């Protein structure tokens, strides 16, 4: 699968995960409504002034600033571009590379 297809798949998954879905079912003659997703999904996140280029000294820590306001119940995720590996979601880290914390 090409990088473009992986990116398309990743974006599709993120959109589906962020979009609330609604369903109805009938149980014993009573109709019920279910909403999956976040109740406050209509608010838009606001990104602060984010630099597009960060320079660091080899072997030292590099801080990648990311300021997001009006996040609501959503989380910020970091994804490595070269292989679309999810690095972090919120406070959780999904890589064995100890440089990420």
Domains and CATH numbers, the chain: 1-37 (no CATH), 43-101 (2.60.40.10)
Radius of gyration of the chain measured on its C-alpha atoms: 19
- Please give the C-alpha separations between residue 43 and each of 28, 38, 46, 70, in angstroms, as whole numbers: 36, 11, 9, 7
pLDDT in tens, 1-55: 566 677 677 666 766 565 555 555 555 666 655 555 554 455 677 777 877 788 8
């Amino acid at each position: 699968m090409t990088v473009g297809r992986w990116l398309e798949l990743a974006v599709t998954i993120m959109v589906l995960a962020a979009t609330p879905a609604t369903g109805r079912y009938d149980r014993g003659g009573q109709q019920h409504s279910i909403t999956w997703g976040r109740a406050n999904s209509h608010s838009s996140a606001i990104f602060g002034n984010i630099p597009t280029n960060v320079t660091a000294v080899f072997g030292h820590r590099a801080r990648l600033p990311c300021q997001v306001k009006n996040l609501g119940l959503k989380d910020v995720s970091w994804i490595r571009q070269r292989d679309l590996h999810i690095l972090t979601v919120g406070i959780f880290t999904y890589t064995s590379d100890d440089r990420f914390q």
